[in-house]
Amino acid sequence: MTFSALIFDMDGLLVDSEPVWHEVEVDYIESFGYAYSDEVRNMGIGMRVDEFAAILQQHYPKLGDSAAAIESAITERLLSLPPERIKARPGADEILRYAADQQIPRAIASSSTQIVIEHFVRLMGWAELIPKRYSAQFMARGKPAPDIYLHAAEQLGLAPETCLALEDSHAGTLAALAAGMTCFTVPDLSHSAVEAFAGVNDKVFGDLLEVMDEIKAKGLFA
């Protein structure tokens, strides 16, 4: 089988941002006297920030009067971090440059807000490499619902089943598969284990360089 487009998640896949998000969340939550549990953190991996903010408000009510206020506070803290704190994941720059060189249609389909997507892409210098960037903030539902992946395929003018999605999280993998796409999962080991994808997706890779090797070896975009 060959594909017509590559659709990338961002946080934890292209950008090593999940530990940074976690640090910001810990600092914010603990400033109110709470202890941030792994159980609550894991509920939000791969989700939209506003949807996760609602979960945080349930568990830590002193954080803010609304989920929107919590989302805003966390996002402001993230955007104010020194640029050097944001790093690319292994193979991210290489696979984006390969896709651009091969003129493979491509897009970002992220749970992050548009302002965060644009911030990270600008810091990484990827604006020209991946000019189509879509946020689930504008969708009716966030991941694990398929809405953002269906939207990205529609904007590319392609059927979802012709797109190859790349993901790092459980929620994101479910979203891509629910959209009818093939998904290559590259687990972000800061929050996931390879074993967590057993029974969910059998196409699991160690990093994006392995994914690129697979694409080349099997001529997936021939």
Q: Is the pTM of this model over 0.85?
A: yes
**5-16+87-218 and 18-83 agree in CATH topology:** no
Q: How much is the pLDDT for 195?
A: 85
Tell me the DSSP string of 114-170: HHHHHHHHHHHT-TTT---EEEGGGSSS-TTSSHHHHHHHHHHT--GGGEEEEE-SH
Per-residue pLDDT at 102 exceeds 80? yes
**Which residue ranges make up each domain of the chain?**
5-16+87-218, 18-83
Quote the mean pLDDT of the chain: 95
Q: How much is the pLDDT for 44?
A: 84
CATH number, span 5-16+87-218: 3.40.50.1000
Q: How much is the pLDDT for 191?
A: 78
d(CA 28, CA 35): 10
User: What CATH topology corresponds to 18-83?
Assistant: DNA polymerase; domain 1 (1.10.150)
What is the tens place of the pLDDT at every residue in 152-176? Answer: 999 999 999 999 999 999 999 999 9
Q: How much is the pLDDT for 138?
A: 96
Residues 24 and 74 sit within 8 Å (Cβ to Cβ): yes
Location of structure tokens 């810990």: 26
CB-count exposure of residue 90 (10 Å: 0-12, 13-18, 19+)? middle
